[in-house]
Amino acid sequence: MSDVMLNLDAVDKFYGPIDKGVHAVRNLSMTVTRGEIIALLGSSGCGKTSTLRMVAGFEAVSRGRISIGGREIHTLPPVQRNVAMAFEGYSLYPTVTVRDNIAFALKRGNFSAVDVAAKVDEVAEMLEISAILDKYPSSISGGQQQRASLARALIRDADLYLLDEPMGQLEPQLRTLLRGRIKAYIKERGLTAILVTHDQTEANALADRIAVMEDGELQQFASPEDIKKSPANLFTGTFVGEPPMNVFPARTSISETTVSLRLDGDVELSYPVDAFSAELRTRLTEMGEVVLGVRPYAVQRRETGSPATVVANQWLGDQSHIAANFAAGSLVLVEHDRTQLVEDQQIAVHLEPSDLHIFNPKTGMAISHGARLVG
C-alpha cells in the first residue's frame, strides 16, 4: 500500500460552463500522506469548501483527477468513496436521538450493540456531548449539533475524514479544549483528515500541514512553522499570523559597508553588509524596490533605533499588543509582559535582519526570509 492517501491532480472547478463559469478552484494539485491532518485555510470564497466537496463527491470535478488510496474516485458517487464528512451545517437526522445519529454510521458495519454503545460513549465524552446523547437534534444548541455531526463523522471507519469548519459554532473556550482532544483522537488512530477552516488558530493547532488558498489558487502548502518562517508570498505572509505581519514598501541601496532599506516617512534601516548574503545583496540591488515584512513579535524595542509613536497599548492578560505610527504607516509590536507605554509616547524600534521577510512588490513572491535568499 502506498503512503499517499489523497491525491489531487490539476483539479479545476467551475460553477457554470467549463472555462466560462466562475473559476472556483484553479489547477489544484496536492498530495496528502496517510495519517496526516491537513487544513485548507482561506477566507470565504477562496475555494476551500469547493475543494472539500469535490473530494467528498458533492460537487463534480470540472477538470483533473482525484484519487484516494491510489483509487481514482472523482467520478464515483459519494457513497462509494469511503470518506466521512462533518458538515458545517450539522445535518443531523431530526427524527432520531443524538446517540442514534452517531451510531447510525456504525450500524451497517459489523459491530455488536455493546461495541457500538462503547464507541459512541467514547467519542461523545471526547466532544463533551455525553449529557445530550438521548436528546433530539431540535432540542440542542447549534454548538452541540455541530459536535454531534463531528462525532458522527469521526466514529466511522473511513479512509479519509473531511471536516468542514467543524468548530465554527462553538464558544471560544470549548474550541481551545476540543482542538487538543480532536487532534489526539485523530493521531492515536492514525486517521487521515482534511479540515476546512477560515480560522488560522485552528489550522495552526490541528494541522500537520496547511494549504493556504486564495482566489481558488493554492498559495502555499507547508507545515505551520514553515508558513510562519518562510511565507511563500505576501498573501500568505500577511494572512497567516496573528497579529498580522507588518509590511512596508522599501527602497534598497547597498554600499561597500552597509545595506540600507529606506522606508516612507524618512525612516532608514541600515545594516552591516555581511548581515545579508551576497546573493541576496545582488538581488536587492537588482530589485531597487521591495516590500519588507516583519512579524509583530520580532519587532524589538531598544534604546536607540528608528523612531515610532505609540498609538495604542492593549494588555490582554499575558501579552501586550502595541500599535505605533512608523514609517508613514503603522507598526504592531507584541510583548509578553505588561508594558506601561502610553499614547503618543516616543519609542525606538529595531528590526533584526534575521527577522526580515522581503517580497517582490510586483509579484508578491518572497525574495528572502531572515536575510537568506529563497530557493
Partner 1 sequence: MQTTSTFESVLRGMAITVIILFFMFPIFWIFLMSFQTNETILRVPPSPFFEPTLTNYRSLISGRLEGSTATLEIAFMSNLYNSLFLSVTSVTVGLLLGVPAAYAFARLKFRGSEDIAFTLLSFRFAPPLLVLLPLTIYFQQIGLADTYGGLIWVYQLIVLPLILWIVRGYFEDIPADIEYAYRIAGHGFWATFRKIALPLAGPGIAAAGLLAFIFAWNNFIFALVLASADKQPVTVGALAFITASGINYGQIAAGIMLSIAPTFALALYAQRYLVEGLSLGAVKG
Partner 2 sequence: MSLELTDLSKSFKDDTVLDGVSLHVPEGKTLVLFGPSGAGKTVLLRLIAGVIEPDTGQIKISGMDVDGVAPEDRNIGMAFQNFALFPHMDAHANIASPLTAQKQDKSAIQAGVQALAKLLKIDHVLGHKPKELSNGQKQRTALARALAGKPKILLLDDPLRNVDAKLRFEMRLELPRLLSDQNATVVYVTQDYKEAMAFGDEIAVINGGVVQQIGTPEQIYLTPANVEIARLFGDPVINFLDVTPQKDATGVFALISDKRVDLDAGYSHVVGQDCSLGIRPESVLFVPEDHPGAVPVTVEAETPLNEKTVNLCLTARGREIMASRPSGTDGPAIGAAFVTIEAANALLFDKLTGALIEPTDIAVKGKVA
Nearest to 348 by CA among 370, 329, 324, 369: 324
Does 301 interact with partner 2 (rule: CB under 8 A)? no
Beta strands per DSSP E along 316-361: 320-326, 329-335, 346-350, 356-359
Q: How many CB atoms sit inside 10 A of residue 240's CB?
A: 21
Q: Which of 49, 62, 97, 204 binds partner 1 (CB under 8 A)?
A: 62
Per rule CB under 8 A, is residue 17 in the interface with partner 1? yes
Amino acid at 262: R
Residue 65 or 198: which CB sits closer to partner 2?
198
Segment (H or E) for 118: helix 113-126
Of 46, 294, 332, 367, the one binding partner 2 by CB under 8 A: 332
Binding partner 1 (rule: CB under 8 A), the pick from 8, 14, 148, 341 is 14
16 contacts partner 1 (rule: CB under 8 A): yes
- 310 within 8 A of 341, measured Cβ to Cβ: yes
| 171 is an interface residue for partner 2 by CB under 8 A | yes
* Rounded CA separation 277/373 (Å): 8
Smallest distance, partner 2 to C-beta of residue 84, A: 23
The reply to whether omega before 243 is within 30° of 0 (cis) is yes
Give the position of cell 483509487.
71
172 binds partner 2 (CB under 8 A): yes
For residue 8, the cross-strand partners are 30, 66
| Binding status of residue 179 toward partner 2 by CB under 8 A | yes
The three-class DSSP label of residue 131 is helix
Asked if residue 365 binds partner 2 (CB under 8 A), the reply is no
The one of partner 1, partner 2, none whose footprint includes residue 60, by CB under 5 to 8 A per kind, is partner 1
**80 contributes a contact to partner 1 by CB under 8 A:** no
Please name which of 211, 237, 233, 234 lies closest in space to residue 28, comparing C-alpha atoms.
Answer: 211
What's 96's DSSP letter?
S
Q: Is 9 in the site for partner 1 (CB under 8 A)?
A: no
Q: Compare residues 84 and 203 and give the one whose CB is closer to partner 2.
A: 203
Q: Find the shortest distance in angstroms from Cβ 83 to partner 1.
A: 18
One character per residue 36-75, x = contact with partner 2 (rule: CB under 8 A):
-------x--------------------------------
How many angstroms separate the CA atoms of 271 and 310, rounded? 24
What cell was used for 351?
Answer: 528590526
The SS3 of residue 120 is helix
**Residues 259, 194: Cα–Cα separation, whole Å:** 44
- Among 18, 131, 184, 312, which residue sits at the site for partner 1 (rule: CB under 8 A)? 18
Q: Does 323 bind partner 2 (CB under 8 A)?
A: yes
Q: Does 272 bind partner 1 (CB under 8 A)?
A: no
What is the DSSP-derived secondary structure letter of residue 244?
A: P
Among residues 121, 173, 170, the alpha carbon closest in space to that of 141 is found at 170
- Out of partner 1, partner 2, none, what residue 238 binds, judged by CB under 5 to 8 A for its kind, is partner 2
Q: What residue 18 binds from partner 2, partner 1, none (CB within 5 to 8 A, per partner kind)? A: partner 1
SS3 for 26? Answer: strand
Cell of 244: 498580522
User: Which of 232, 247, 226 lies closest to 290, judged by CA?
Assistant: 247
Please choose which of partner 2, partner 1, none residue 59 contacts, taking the beta carbon within 5 to 8 angstroms, the exact cut-off set by kind. Answer: partner 1
**Contact set for partner 2, span 77-136 (CB under 8 A):** none
Closest CB 57 distance from partner 1, rounded Å: 10
Binds 184: which of partner 2, partner 1, none (CB < 5-8 Å by kind): partner 2
Site residues (vs partner 1, CB under 8 A): 14, 16-18, 21, 59-62
Site residues (vs partner 2, CB under 8 A): 43, 171-173, 176-177, 179-180, 183-184, 198-201, 204-205, 224-225, 228, 238-239, 241-244, 296-297, 311-312, 314-319, 321, 323, 332, 334, 336, 338, 343
